[in-house]
Chain A
């Protein structure tokens, strides 16, 4: 069955902002799908609120709506575009849920929109746990014993019947959010209450716990003719009980006999057929009892997923791309396998290597969240590594994480584990935590038996024994010297995945010596190919990984090549924005005649799609692994071909940190020396002084005494931050000596010290903190001739003190005077010139009382680049990449990559951060200098108010149009808060306030209808938490006291977060919200495509007031 010709336009819904459980894998999938559908000649209409995606590049779809993913907004899109079909299976849970809402609302039926890929009935069967369970039992598959509950009483009855422990899973949720284990009745009460609240349909599934069973996933595809294939089997190293998104996972499955595997395959297909997934990819999860092989089906996702992205990268079989083709009528056997070209996609990939995925968590950024893994996903990113053996891939994955580990122990960071006594270690092994893997190795190295470790951890003995091989190898190397190792010994260690840094640590040598020594003995990395077929057929796709074998497979090239170093795993502070920049660099350089070589280890991304660059090396971003790639590329150079250079400035801090290990001549763009000048405090101060650019006063400190001295000199409050970190890691505003001592002590030890806390080379920066200043971000481009293009000036909504990544911002700036704008422009140009930037520079400023202070400059791509590009229509990262290989701005204007004139865009763009607090109920939602957002959304409209309201809706906050606003303000905020309260009052809102705030408002003539008690004031007035829980207030404005306990008001913020009442923690945000509510009052949002905006076709919605 060929392409469906009865369809002309197809609506694709993206997954929106990066959140825990839904990350850039949906940009990868969605981008592939949009491209395929466009290639097939369909008009693709895309809706996605996330500006930092390749998917929302104007070239990816015919009509791109960067608009909130909300049922009403999508209805408006459908109304305008009248698509023939909607493809809901590529935008994660978000797109599935929205599709179901649109079905319920009758919007699709009203406009004759056909849902393709997965029919609504199929989505309902898969997503509704009750229906799913019934369907599976109907076809003879076993499911975990369970029952449904819609109330607390029902929950108790079900759980009592099943026996404890039980798992409580809310229906229709994403990434296991709200899923918890209850060990007894008492725990169930709390867990079931939360679960019922989390489920959009108020339903929970209560399952008998099968924690400790083996966990498997099959990635399967089905076409319209019922051809089914398994693309990949995945085995979880962490057994049932740890969410699969938080589990270390391995492909292919390692411990199933063929008899068991084929039975599981049959079950997966039966499940797909029963659920009714007509075309596309699905993920089916199973639990297997290690004692007798009993197999239960856990769940299925009738869409592409995080696992399908992993499976695509693990096998080379592009699931999303093929799913898109199947959705428009093709059959698997009508789609060619890109990699072999000769064979069709109706086969099952076989792989001759092992793939390991390890999640990356961000517990260090979320004080109050306990770093224990469970049924609810908490990781913010992941890495994947490919090796010829499990040991090799595991160790490569560990060093890909960039958490200061050179591999599975055998590095200085192993000491804390080795220092534990046996009993403590055993106790820790029982709990799944991010560190357990290292504890397993430490226990095995002590001589514990694999059986004992397996029994303690419930990790399958096969994996434990493999880790034991690493422990044994390390023990056998101890006491040897580098000189004493022959080729066979070194080769064996490298084949078990040991890095040169680990070997140097164990052998008492240096990394450079280990490398030199093994290269002299002929022990070098060879590049193998990911080819879907175990080498049975010739592969044409240059997708490589390094291992220690006989033969290398990189094809020779006689072209100039640029190596682009990617940004590694997603983490808070460094996410999809940097992948976007790397992908754009690859696109721009390929278009300019270069071959591009991508190095990255993040399986979720577009950069690690084998289609993105001319070559892909799926490798950790360490100096050793990157050197291996450069060596392989040098060996593969023929004729005039050579590596022109390496781009290190588009992937965030990760590649930048590697700049020093590269041959200096190869670093493209701004020189490493300039990067140091901006980063090194002394040099930076001298530079600012020479340029006469004001800075907040400050100094550097190596210890507590230094820090106290600096603070005494510049005066409190001060901002304290370590150097060379991203995302405001450990950054704090300090108001007194006592707090300073606490902060400096924390920086000196533990995890923080490892990440780059206080050392002589990396001192702590202590600066005067400018309270109430407006923060501004500027991104600019400079070419080798010195011409400068200011790409974007962004005014932050939240005042200085909130990390720029967590703050909303507007482009163009909304409140800055021309004089201030002129200062910003002048300073930015002076800095770019002085640093001899070639490419991008980002400068952060604080504006206070008309003076522009520079806070920091980073001569590299910043997180704001994709937002600037979307807001202005200028492909900033592409331009930067071209500048780095020598093009000039005037040449790029001639090519039309850059507009000749930069006009006012004619619309306002607002970026809003998306925070993960829903996942971490114990964490304070107060914004501060440490970044905690996982993603961002963009709102675009004619006025700031409209754009801000859209950005809030896109971030999941529907601003109320009436009701009660609850204000609880710090004393210093009261004067300004009065104005905000007045605006809300004018808009018709009732006011509620805590006693102090209420008194102030009443004194100034405002009516406060509800008095709210603070902690310790019970009995006098209404309880804040009750008001919020009962939805008697509709918007909360809670600003903390600048000085003293940050915990003040925390119970209010937590309650708001738990009950999903919008909560603003700065007056600036409250002011913006009032503007948004005013501008949107009584009107639906008007929607426009990026393509229209680029043509200046502006929204014609309601006239702003």
Chain B
């Protein structure tokens, strides 16, 4: 006969939790994910409507708590193929409605089980729209959430660190070099927290040697690469003097392509400046103009910092929402870089031509 369901009441069983921001703002919700009385991090919001698994496993979120603006998160579960890294580097996840169990043929594990397995605490039932509006108006800021008492969370939020001035790359870069891909070129990729999708695209172009962030320029050149790639990664580029110096060493000696943090590191290496955006760009719908053609790309973005003016370069891409520099090309060296994520994962595929441009740059060198 029919399988009778127990009157499950998930929502009734969750423990109440609070999110407290460094400026004292409090949000109600329920605890989810890995049990944790107090979780801290810099709170940022992401507006992508799909791709929560890729976002949560993106190493660039190290040190941050991700609040999703999309209402339901967890709908289609998780699967091994969509991981951007072995494990999430973020500090927590805040959602309006965590929905489990999932429904999708690709799913092998529910999102909450996935969070628990990786020890990532979460909060559900939060008015994430209010949170987004608050962060939009006041800027990204640290915060604390969990099942602890409000006073404890307030103290933790006040003490929680922003990402400014911190080297978060050390948390996520590979410990040992490794090989990836089978393409015809030979590329060395600096891993500042590289995403799997990025490697996947490089791997179709080249045989990639992924190296730790601290690898000296000479060691890289000793591999006789056709090109060097600077990956995405978390945090503040100005906290990375080592990588910036190494990059400066490599400029002009080998074709270079950088993405996101890699773009910022190259900007600094070329003598430019970086600055922190009020609340960053985190989403999959940002319009970017490719100045060479005038064409508009809808892009995937995830960064809190941006590049200002960089001597000896031309701006190749601009964000149409706020005019932030999205791409640079050196006027003298074989080098270009973009702030956004042409590899997508998650996000639109509009800018994947940039990998071909890297191949062309290497072929021409």
Contact = CB atoms under 8 A, between A and B. Distances in A.
A851 interface: no
B129 A290 contact: no
B261 to A, nearest CB: 21
B21 to A, nearest CB: 13
A265 to B, nearest CB: 6
Interface stretch (A90-98, A533-541, A611-619, A824-832): A533-541
B350 to A, nearest CB: 8
B87 interface: no
A165 interface: no
Contacts of A349: 285
Interface in A331-365: 331-333, 342-344, 346-354
A472 B70 CA distance: 24
A29 to B, nearest CB: 23
Contacts of A550: 27-28, 127, 130
Given A292-B105, A389-B72, A447-B5, A346 B320 contact: yes
Given A346-B296, A449-B5, A476-B9, A389 B71 contact: yes
B104 interface: yes
A448 B127 CA distance: 32
B287 A354 contact: no
A461 B77 CA distance: 13
Nearest to B101: A465
A703 B50 CA distance: 58
B348 A265 contact: yes
B105 A293 contact: yes
B126 to A, nearest CB: 9
B117 interface: no
Contact of B2 (A388, A448, A533): A448
Nearest to B27: A550
Interface stretch (A237-245, A249-257, A804-812): A249-257
Interface in A231-280: 233, 252-262, 265-266
Contacts of A528: 129
B47 A350 contact: yes
Contacts of B286: 347
Contact of B295 (A226, A259, A469): A226
Interface in B260-296: 283-287, 289, 294-296
A551 B349 contact: no
Interface in B123-177: 125, 127-130, 132-133, 136
B82 A461 contact: no
A351 B49 contact: yes
Contacts of B103: 255, 460-462, 465
Contact of A549 (B51, B53, B127, B295): B127
A266 B349 contact: yes
B84 to A, nearest CB: 11
Interface string A672-714: 0000000000000000000000000000000000000000000
A536 B72 contact: no
Nearest to B102: A462
Contact of A389 (B5, B51, B96, B132): B96
Given A290-B105, A476-B7, A352 B285 contact: no
Contacts of A823: none
Contacts of B349: 262, 265-266
A146 to B, nearest CB: 24
B295 A227 contact: yes
B8 interface: yes
Contacts of A495: 125
A1097 interface: no
A534 B296 contact: no
Interface string B40-71: 00000101111101100000000000000111
A996 B50 CA distance: 70
A352 B71 contact: yes
Interface residues of A, number: 73
B76 interface: yes
A475 B6 CA distance: 11
A479 to B, nearest CB: 11
Contact of B294 (A225, A262, A533): A225
Contact of A551 (B12, B130, B346): B130
A533 B47 contact: yes
B99 interface: yes
Contacts of A292: 105
Contacts of B47: 350, 352, 533-534, 536
A452 interface: yes
Interface string A461-490: 110011011001101100000000000100
Contacts of B345: 258
B344 interface: yes
A450 B10 CA distance: 15
Contact of B136 (A229, A256, A537): A537
A296 interface: no
B11 interface: yes
B253 interface: no
A533 B132 CA distance: 11
Contacts of B105: 290-293
A346 B6 CA distance: 48
Interface string B1-26: 01111111111100010000000000
A252 B49 contact: yes
A1096 interface: no
Interface string B314-335: 0000001110000000000000
Nearest to A447: B4
A492 interface: yes
A444 interface: yes
A438 interface: no
B227 interface: no
B127 A422 contact: no
A132 interface: no
Interface in B333-361: 344-349
Most chain A CB atoms below 10 A, which of B8, B47, B51, B136: B47
A255 B9 contact: no
B127 A333 contact: no
B204 interface: no
A460 B103 CA distance: 7
A446 to B, nearest CB: 8
Contact of B75 (A226, A233, A462, A534): A462
A347 B321 contact: yes
Nearest to B16: A488
Interface in A901-960: none
A1091 to B, nearest CB: 40
B97 interface: yes
A390 interface: yes
B69 A534 contact: yes
Interface string B227-257: 0000000000000000000000000000000
Given A293-B106, A452-B2, A551-B133, A257 B82 contact: yes
Query: Which residue, of A352, A450, A528, A549, has the highest number of chain B Cβ atoms within 10 A?
Result: A352
B320 A333 contact: yes
Interface of A: 225-227, 229, 233, 252-262, 265-266, 290-293, 331-333, 342-344, 346-354, 388-390, 422, 444, 446-450, 452, 460-462, 465-466, 468-469, 472-473, 475-476, 488, 492, 495, 528, 533-538, 549-551, 553
29 contacts: A225-B294, A257-B104, A262-B348, A266-B349, A290-B105, A293-B105, A331-B296, A343-B287, A344-B321, A346-B298, A347-B286, A347-B287, A348-B348, A350-B283, A350-B284, A352-B96, A354-B72, A388-B96, A388-B129, A447-B6, A465-B103, A472-B7, A534-B129, A534-B283, A535-B69, A537-B136, A538-B136, A549-B127, A550-B127
Given A348-B348, A389-B96, 16 more contacts: A227-B295, A255-B103, A258-B54, A332-B296, A333-B296, A346-B287, A347-B298, A350-B69, A351-B70, A352-B96, A465-B99, A476-B12, A533-B47, A533-B285, A535-B132, A550-B130
Kindly list the 9 A-B residue pairs having the minimum CB-CB distance in the complex, ordered from nearest. A258-B51, A534-B69, A258-B346, A462-B103, A447-B4, A551-B130, A348-B285, A535-B132, A258-B50
